[in-house]
Amino acid sequence: MGSDAADTPPSLDEVRWRLDAIDGELLKLLDERAALASSVAAAKQAAGDTGFGLRPGREAMIVRKLLATPRKAANDALVIRIWREVMSDNLARQGPYHLSVWGGRDT
């Protein structure tokens, strides 16, 4: 049996080139999402919504939808970590906020 060209793995240079291209695409999308977070703040302000921007139900819905999306290699933990960071940054772009947590008298 001969070796088929489709069975030949890509070279390291080819893989790195593709990774670099994906990094560029990811950066463009992150930048666009960050800009939209600022637009969300402006739209909320225009609608008279001056409350705190944290919406745990919406964030949970987004993460559940992402986790339900078929993937080849990105595990759930990676998806959750990345989107927590993205959503946290986007929330911060909507305006300043302070969060205090009280753990009770035994902590």
Residue-level pLDDT at 81: 96
**What does the pLDDT look like over 31-73, one tens digit per residue?**
999 888 888 878 888 888 766 667 788 889 999 999 999 999 9
Q: Is CATH 3.90.1150.10 correct for 12-93?
A: no
Give the rounded distance of the alpha carbon of 100 from its chain centre.
24
Q: Can you tell me the distance from the alpha carbon of 47 to that of 14, in angstroms, rounded to the nearest whole number? A: 49
Q: What is the pTM of this model?
A: 0.71
Phi, then psi, of 22 in degrees rounded to 5:
-65, -40
Residue ranges covered by each domain of the chain? 12-93
Torsion from C-alpha of 20, 21, 24, 26, nearest 10 degrees: -100
The tens digit of pLDDT for each residue in 79-94 reads: 999 999 998 888 887 7
Cβ-based neighbour number of residue 90 at 10 Å: 20
| pLDDT tops 90 at residue 13 | yes
As a whole number of Å, the end-to-end CA separation of the chain is 67
